[in-house]
Amino acid sequence: MTEAQAERGQGPLAGLLVADFSRILAGPYATMLLADMGAEVVKVEGPGGDDTRTWQPPVREGVSTYYLGVNRNKRSVGLDLKDPGDLALARELARRADIFVENFKPGGLKRFGLDYDTVAAANPAVVYASISGFGSGPKGAGLPGYDLIVQATSGLMSVTGDAEGEPYRAGVAVFDVISGLHATIGVLAALNHRHATGAGQHVEISLLASAMSGLVNQTSAYVAGGVVPFRMGNSHPSLFPYEPLPCADGELIITAGNDLQFRKLVQILGVPELADDPRFSRNEDRTANREELRPLLVERLATRPKMEWFRELTGNGVPCGPINTIDQGVAFAEEVGLDPVVIVGEGDEAIPSVRHPITFSATPASYRLPPPRLDQQGDEIRRWLSEEENGR
């Protein structure tokens, strides 16, 4: 692809071709991360396009911001896998790809000859990543895998929300995101294996397995300690203070993660004697006696506004932070120098986007292409796939 070659990234994955047969969030997030790191990503969409193109509002110039958030640096080609000509092009793309990413139901691509075994037979070096809801086993393969379902079935919702209230979902599709990250990790590990051996492999990721891992201390509490966690609102089961505490004009998150941080906290609050009180001197004591300690801290915090406390506490090494809205969160990231917003594209097609999360000292991420319109590069990609020469 002449234009693709001209705009290929220069990051750590430059020169790799990704056949992206995924849609919605987990797969597209993974392939966007790969694209940011220099890989050339061809996004294959069916006649109706990625589902998230219609997930509105909000929108930017009529396009779903959900879709825009996970599809930069890609080229779109519309292929109807039920059409023999389009299917032949899809198979050719799979044959040329270094990485193949899909999130169909397990086995869903077999009838098209795009399953791992068939693709690997023609392309033994391919790293083929499959993302599903509940794995490819006989009991999980047929279950639909939306993030909210996994938040419910994994137990996350049982530990999210007020102690006396209803279970709540997280405010973002957290297991889709974690699964996308796990997919990226799996692909990079398989690429390293391929570098050493020349052989590709099948990498499988499920939202539920990612949830089991991503629930970290909560799942460990049960599998290692026999304890079933429960909703505690904004409180932490193993730390105190580690929650919002009221100040004169609103709440401030304060997290004393160790005994030294707690000693600094109570010194700044003007009650240093609490650090030597046997009820509060160690973390396990503070956690056990949180109902006695909380009002003593709140009494002092209520004397000043939250941002005054924030500046003084952070200035003295006590972790804390205001509870921001999303716009305030972006502004805070800017304030601390993270430059969270990048502009992708030029002119009328320029799209503000959230910066790639990893900073490389030698091979930085790049922002080459705004999220594509459906089939935007279709003619170019079809011509390229129709060429006999296997060149990129």
Whether the ω angle into residue 57 lies within 30 degrees of 0, i.e. cis, is yes
Per the CB < 8 A criterion, the answer to whether 93 and 122 are in contact is no
**176 in active site:** yes
DSSP element (H, E) containing 18? strand 17-21
Residue 302 burial (CB count, 10 A): 12
Q: Tell me the backbone φ, ψ of residue 64, rounded to 5 degrees.
A: -60, 130
- Catalytic option among 176, 276, 348, 375: 176
Pairing of strands 242-247, 99-102: unpaired
Contacts of 179 (CB under 8 A, 6+ apart): 26, 131, 205, 206, 207, 210
Question: From CA 366, how far away is CA 354, in angstroms rounded?
Answer: 12
**Helix spans in the chain (H):** 2-6, 26-36, 65-68, 84-96, 116-122, 147-154, 174-197, 207-214, 216-225, 259-269, 283-288, 290-301, 306-315, 326-335, 378-386
Tell me if 351 sits within 8 A of 343, measured CB to CB.
yes
Q: Is 24 left (phi over 0), alpha (psi -120 to 50) or beta?
A: left
Cα dihedral: 213, 218, 221, 226 (round 10): -100
Closest CA to 195 of 328, 320, 15: 15
For strand 40-45 and strand 74-78, is the pairing parallel, antiparallel, or unpaired? parallel
Q: Contact, 178 vs 212, CB < 8 A?
A: no
Catalytic residues: 176
